[in-house]
Amino acid sequence: MCKCADQISQGMKETHNLDGHIIDYELLSGKSFSTFRYKTVNSKGKESTKDTFILHSFCPFCGEKYESKIEEIPHA
């Protein structure tokens, strides 16, 4: 897997004097993801905001395909 996210996080920390967590990763695969926020309205007309996540198949910075860390289980 490429090092883009690590390099960009490091650059952001140095340039903007930030500390801690910069880019989110999905825990199992180590892939980055995008967060989308949308509104829903229930049957009583009350609005609520929800988040959904889409896991990246490719690095959003250089386009390299993410390899799966989870090995496929062979079929018996």
**Per the structure block, which two tokens stand in for 64?**
């390299």
Does position 22 interact with Zn ion (CB under 5 A)? The reply is no
Does position 66 interact with Zn ion (CB under 5 A)? The reply is no
Does position 2 interact with Zn ion (CB under 5 A)? The reply is yes
User: What is the DSSP annotation of 32-68?
Assistant: BEEEEEEEEE-TTS-EEEEEEEEE-SB-TTT-PBPPP
Give the DSSP H/E element, type plus range, for residue 6.
Answer: helix 4-16
Select from 10, 62, 65, 69 the one that contacts Zn ion (CB under 5 A).
Answer: 62
Give the nearer residue to Zn ion in terms of CB position, either 13 or 52: 13
Does position 4 interact with Zn ion (CB under 5 A)? The reply is yes
Site residues, Zn ion (CB under 5 A): 2, 4, 59, 61-62, 64
